[in-house]
């Protein structure tokens, strides 16, 4: 299991142990040097005592063990050995002062002092020093062992306390459900968790919008489909019970019209849910030529316009490329043209134009129809808003879908009056900077 707690403990306690080992080695080296200096000083002290008081005739039993650790010798003025602590081991006389030599396959530290013709030589082995130091060294390492134990416990408590905030985040997130999606509080978390809390709150916000959109979609679909489905059921019943072939054919025609209307409504409801910028952010954008797209959409709607004797055309335009979603921008053009055809009336003139205004690309859809009163232009962006339901069989979703697609592309939409009467829809998109989305 990939545990943050285990990783922190391994790294921190491992670093502590390595540091303690390094400090212990340094301490051991320094203590060994100090011990050697102290033992060398002891050799000098013993030699000074022998010069002042002379060689002992007899070593007390209590001092025998310590005396055996040293090799002491005295020479008189004639160079004759007058005293040897170990008569069977006479070490060759060394120069005055401290020296180190190898004798009888052992390393010896030797101190030689001369005074009044007498020479005193005191020595002991390095092995003896290691033995003595070995009895002391463990006590030197004991504080480091205690330090590792205590600091390890402190590190364990610190890691558990530091990770407790993650437990709080987990508890807070686990308490959230579809009915309770409020953001996590920022004040109770340490600074390092702010990015995580920000990301979680952004996710909760998107989830809340998604659930709201889903509930709104279900409510809208249920509300708007009830009437046409009821009409379809009635027309189907009339077609079944019709007294004549002509009556049944008329009923079937109305059924077909109703099916088309329901299909169109379903498509628009799906577009409304699909292009909501709060729940479905803009996908990876690509370069879209607005002039080419407008030409294709005008051609697609030309048959519907001709059926109503509407003059649908494209004015002189600029070649403009923006970054966006070709599919959703195509839906935008479809809804703008379809709305104009539906509401401009028979014999109207509808013109599209693509222009550049400063740093914005402009899409203009103008007609000379009845237009929209200034005080009602904001209302038409509301879902299912139809200013004159009897005048059109539209669903009232076209401009709502357009507004969402414009928001997805960081654009703006505005409704103006066409000079001479009618409505002009002005959609603005930001132009790319140095070819970047």
State whether 265 and 321 are in the same domain: no
Residue indicated by tokens 């409510």:
219
Tokens for 189, please give them: 């978390």
- Give the model's pLDDT for residue 389: 52
State whether 155 and 201 are in the same domain: no
Higher per-residue pLDDT: 58 or 191: 191
Structural domain includes residue 110: yes
Tokens for 400, please give them: 């709502």
- Give the model's pLDDT for residue 425: 93
Report whether 76 contacts 117 (CB < 8 A): yes
> Which value, to the nearest 10 degrees, does the dihedral of the CA atoms of residues 405, 375, 314, 349 take?
140
Predicted confidence band at 67 (pLDDT cuts at 50, 70, 90)? Answer: very low
- Give the model's pLDDT for residue 224: 60
Most confident of 191-195, 246-250, 377-381: 377-381
State whether 199 and 265 are in the same domain: yes
Closest CA to 358 of 437, 434, 430, 416: 430
Find the range with the poorest average confidence among 6-15, 55-64, 156-165, 359-368.
55-64
Structural domain includes residue 133: yes
State whether 17 and 153 are in the same domain: yes
Query: Which three-class secondary structure state does DSSP give residue 102?
Result: strand
Q: Which DSSP helix (H) or strand (E) runs through 75?
A: strand 71-75
The rounded percent of the chain whose pLDDT value lies above 90 is 16
State whether 308 and 417 are in the same domain: yes
- Give the model's pLDDT for residue 66: 45
- Give the model's pLDDT for residue 355: 94
> Could you tell me whether strands 349-357 and 311-314 are parallel, antiparallel, or unpaired per DSSP bridges?
parallel
Tokens for 340, please give them: 């104009």
State whether 292 and 420 are in the same domain: yes
Predicted confidence band at 60 (pLDDT cuts at 50, 70, 90)? Answer: very low
Predicted confidence band at 9 (pLDDT cuts at 50, 70, 90)? Answer: confident
Q: What is the mean pLDDT of residues 396-401?
A: 77
Q: Which DSSP helix (H) or strand (E) runs through 98?
A: strand 97-103
State whether 223 and 264 are in the same domain: yes
Q: What is the mean pLDDT of residues 404-433?
A: 90
Domain span at 392: 286-430
- Give the model's pLDDT for residue 227: 61
Q: What is the mean pLDDT of residues 253-279?
A: 70
Q: What is the mean pLDDT of residues 359-388?
A: 82
Q: What is the CATH number of the domain that holds 341?
A: 3.30.565.10
> Other CB atoms closer than 10 Å to residue 400's CB: what's the count?
22
Closest CA to 218 of 179, 273, 277: 273
Structural domain includes residue 186: no
Q: Is the pTM of this model over 0.85?
A: no
Residue indicated by tokens 């807070």:
172
Give the CA distances from residue 394 to residues 225, 269, 307, 340, 379, in Å, rounded to whole numbers and listed in that order: 13, 13, 17, 11, 16
Q: Which of 274, 295, 323 is the last residue of a domain?
A: 274
Structural domain includes residue 265: yes
Summarised one tens digit per residue, pLDDT across range 267-315 is: 766 766 666 666 566 677 889 999 999 999 999 999 989 989 999 999 9
- Give the model's pLDDT for residue 64: 35
Most confident of 177-181, 213-217, 422-426: 422-426
Summarised one tens digit per residue, pLDDT across range 277-289 is: 665 666 778 899 9
State whether 119 and 21 are in the same domain: yes
Closest CA to 40 of 104, 106, 129, 105: 129
* Burial of 211: CB neighbours in 10 Å, binned 0-12, 13-18, 19+: middle
- Give the model's pLDDT for residue 400: 82
State whether 9 and 146 are in the same domain: yes
Predicted confidence band at 61 (pLDDT cuts at 50, 70, 90)? Answer: very low
Structural domain includes residue 381: yes
Give the CA distances from residue 436 to residues 321, 360, 362, 433, in Å, rounded to whole numbers and listed in that order: 12, 15, 19, 6
State whether 39 and 141 are in the same domain: yes
Q: What is the CATH number of the domain that holds 143?
A: 3.30.450
Structural domain includes residue 171: no
Q: What is the CATH number of the domain that holds 202?
A: 1.10.287.130
- Give the model's pLDDT for residue 272: 65
Structural domain includes residue 435: no
Q: Which of 160, 182, 210 is the last residue of a domain?
A: 160
- Give the model's pLDDT for residue 331: 87
The sign one gets for the Cα dihedral 224, 228, 231, 237 is negative
State whether 382 and 238 are in the same domain: no
The rounded percent of the chain whose pLDDT value lies above 70 is 82
Report whether 329 contacts 288 (CB < 8 A): yes
- Give the model's pLDDT for residue 237: 77
Summarised one tens digit per residue, pLDDT across range 111-170 is: 898 887 788 988 888 888 888 877 777 777 777 778 778 887 888 787 777 777 777 777
- Give the model's pLDDT for residue 33: 85
Mean of per-residue pLDDT scores for the chain: 79
Give the CA distances from residue 301 to residues 45, 144, 283, 349, in Å, rounded to whole numbers and listed in that order: 117, 86, 27, 13
Distance between CA atoms of 123 and 71, rounded to whole angstroms?
Answer: 5
Q: How many CA atoms lie within 13 A of 214 on its CB side?
A: 7
* Helix, strand, coil percentages for the chain (3-state, nearest 5): 55, 20, 25
Distance between CA atoms of 111 and 45, rounded to whole angstroms?
Answer: 10
Report whether 111 contacts 43 (CB < 8 A): yes
- Give the model's pLDDT for residue 63: 41
Q: Which of 160, 176, 200 is the last residue of a domain?
A: 160
| Total number of domains constituting the chain | 3
Q: Which residues in 211-291 belong to E strands, given as ranges?
A: 286-289
Closest CA to 18 of 155, 142, 144: 144
> Other CB atoms closer than 10 Å to residue 259's CB: what's the count?
13
Predicted confidence band at 337 (pLDDT cuts at 50, 70, 90)? Answer: very high
Instruction: List, in order, residues 6 or more apart from 274 with CB less than 8 Å away.
Output: 280, 328
State whether 225 and 312 are in the same domain: no
Closest CA to 269 of 331, 355, 207: 331
Report whether 235 contacts 251 (CB < 8 A): yes
Q: What is the mean pLDDT of residues 369-375?
A: 86
- Give the model's pLDDT for residue 393: 55
Structural domain includes residue 111: yes
Residue 65 in this model has a pLDDT that exceeds 60: no
């Amino acid at each position: 299991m990939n545990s943050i707690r285990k990783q922190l403990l391994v790294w921190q306690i491992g670093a502590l142990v390595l540091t303690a080992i390094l400090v212990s080695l340094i301490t051991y080296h320094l203590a060994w040097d100090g011990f050697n200096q102290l033992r060398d000083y002891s050799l000098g002290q013993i030699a000074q005592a022998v010069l002042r008081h002379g060689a002992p005739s007899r070593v007390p039993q209590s001092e025998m063990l310590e005396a055996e650790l040293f090799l002491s010798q005295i020479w008189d003025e004639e160079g004759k050995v007058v005293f040897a602590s170990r008569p069977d081991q006479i070490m060759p006389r060394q120069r005055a002062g401290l020296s180190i030599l190898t004798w009888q396959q052992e390393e010896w530290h030797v101190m030689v002092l001369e005074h009044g013709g007498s020479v005193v030589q005191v020595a002991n082995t390095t092995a003896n020093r290691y033995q003595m130091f070995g009895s002391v060294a463990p006590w030197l390492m004991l504080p480091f062992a205690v330090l590792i134990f205590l600091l390890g416990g402190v590190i364990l408590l610190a890691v558990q306390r530091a990770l407790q905030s993650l437990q709080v985040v987990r508890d807070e997130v686990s308490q959230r459900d579809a009915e309770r999606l409020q953001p996590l509080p920022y004040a109770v978390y340490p600074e390092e968790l702010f990015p995580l809390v920000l990301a979680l709150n952004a996710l909760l916000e998107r989830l809340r919008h998604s659930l709201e959109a889903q509930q709104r979609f279900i409510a809208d679909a249920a509300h708007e489909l009830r009437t046409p489905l009821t009409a379809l059921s009635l027309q189907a019943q009339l077609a079944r019970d019709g007294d004549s072939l002509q009556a049944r054919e008329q009923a079937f025609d109305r059924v077909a019209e109703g099916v088309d209307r329901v299909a169109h409504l379903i498509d628009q409801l799906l577009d409304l849910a699909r292009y909501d910028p709060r729940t479905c952010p803009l996908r990876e954008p690509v370069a879209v030529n607005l002039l080419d797209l407008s030409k294709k959409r005008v051609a697609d709607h030309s048959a519907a316009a001709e059926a109503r004797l509407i003059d649908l055309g494209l004015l002189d335009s600029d070649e403009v490329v923006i970054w966006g979603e070709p599919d959703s921008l195509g839906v935008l053009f479809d809804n703008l043209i379809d709305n104009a055809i539906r509401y401009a009336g028979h014999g109207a003139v509808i013109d599209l134009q693509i222009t550049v205004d400063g740093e914005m690309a402009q899409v203009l859809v103008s007609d000379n129809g009845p237009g929209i009163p200034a005080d009602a232009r904001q209302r038409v962006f509301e879902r299912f808003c139809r200013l004159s339901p009897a005048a059109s069989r539209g669903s009232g979703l076209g401009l709502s879908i357009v507004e969402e697609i414009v928001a997805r592309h960081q654009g703006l939409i505005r409704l103006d009056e066409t000079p001479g009467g009618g409505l002009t829809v002005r959609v603005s998109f930001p132009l790319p900077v140095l070819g970047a989305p």
